[in-house]
Structures are given as C-alpha cells and as structure tokens.
Amino acid sequence: MNDSRLNVSRALNHMQSQGLIELKRGRIAIPMLEKLVTEWG
C-alpha cells in the first residue's frame, strides 16, 4: 500500500465509523460490499 500503519489504521477506523466495514480481532468484515465500492471506489 506504500503507506504507514497509522494511516491505514485511520482509514479503516473511518470506514468502520461510516458503517462500511466491521473490524474484528484479526479480520475485517465487509457486510455490504456494494456500498463500500460506491463510497471508496
């Protein structure tokens, strides 16, 4: 990704706050892939 761990973590947390992903211990769940692609694609 050529980005720092901190920036990746911030982006993931932002996506989680928008309800696009669910961060679980050791995995990332994407309940509505279509919404994620529309928002971040």
pLDDT digits over 15-30, tens only? Answer: 999 999 999 999 999 9
- Please count the structural domains in the chain: 1
Place of tokens 């696009």: 20
Pick the more confident residue, 33 or 21. Answer: 21
Q: Is the pLDDT of residue 39 over 70?
A: yes
Instruction: Identify which of 37, 36, 6, 38 has the alpha carbon closest to the alpha carbon of residue 19.
Output: 36
Q: Is the pTM of this model over 0.85?
A: no
Which amino acid type is present at position 36?
A: L
Quick one: how far is CA 6 from the chain centroid?
13
Which amino acid type is present at position 1?
A: M
Tell me, what's the pLDDT at 2?
A: 84
Structural domain for 9, as ranges: 5-40
- Predicted confidence band at 4 (pLDDT cuts at 50, 70, 90)? very high
Query: What's the chain's Rg over C-alpha atoms?
Result: 10
Rounded Cα distance between 30 and 26, Å, is: 14
